[in-house]
A and B are shown apart, each in its own frame.
Chain A
């Protein structure tokens, strides 16, 4: 297993340690996971899959809970 993984967050290429969740990747890129109905930036809260605050678009699929998904090489992640 490689020690690092590179992926894109909002179009910017970043590198994270392997085993990092997508939520971690977004935080290290200073990208909010999503924007609320009232326009506020949102990010991970519970870190265990129950609050749904960390949803983002992964490889074109919206509403993925980033705290529950590990980064994979070449993943394309976007703020929702």
Chain B
């Protein structure tokens, strides 16, 4: 079981209010991703849940049990750190067995659990190596192994993939998702990468400056962002946000249209000059300097023979445009 409830949790370092107050409920078995720009307080929030930081106010409950004042070891949570935080002088086997040893488990039971974890994570042939002799991906797996042997109520991941190269990041992302399918344990995953958030999460929590901007499934956030921050943060490439006269025409302060929701055709109402085209094969992303709108990103599927300097006309797909008021909030 791993249901975690935060009630107006606050954290300040001295004068600085890093987290002014957060209410959040995480259901048992959910894969929750905290996403937000660097420095927005994601790690701090995770460390508050882990008990590595003391909350300045509010309460944290794990499975309905008040946990705000419990030490980290008593919260039955396991954490995977960005730096892996493996014990460099211990073999992989001893690293994974460490929490079991601390719990006073017998040597045979320890060995059984370690072997099992090593099998799940493909680490069996590395058990007698030191962390220093492993690659980044293998170290990451050891850190995960050390977390899973404890059978925690929930896993906490703090940007676990940010030290890996792009290809490894994609495969580890899938491995962690599969691990979640197998274990069905609550996982809280912190990242600044919205792609990781979109691909892995059951529920995304978008944070900005210590505040929750929106909570929802990846598709909810994609289809109906609550405000311009979420609109600009979720989705790749970013949503085009247009201010000024064009927005006023639609009765809004700001209008938003995603690059994939713009069609190029000669009778379109908008016009602009292509300043850059990025050919990915499957898609072509065009940066267009549009008259009266500013620079927009437009996606054309497949290979498009447009180059710098070409002038195009284009139109937003009907019903895909989003409208935001002067406070940045989405208008109905």
Partners in one complex: no
Which residues from chain B sit less than 8 Å from chain A, CB to CB? none
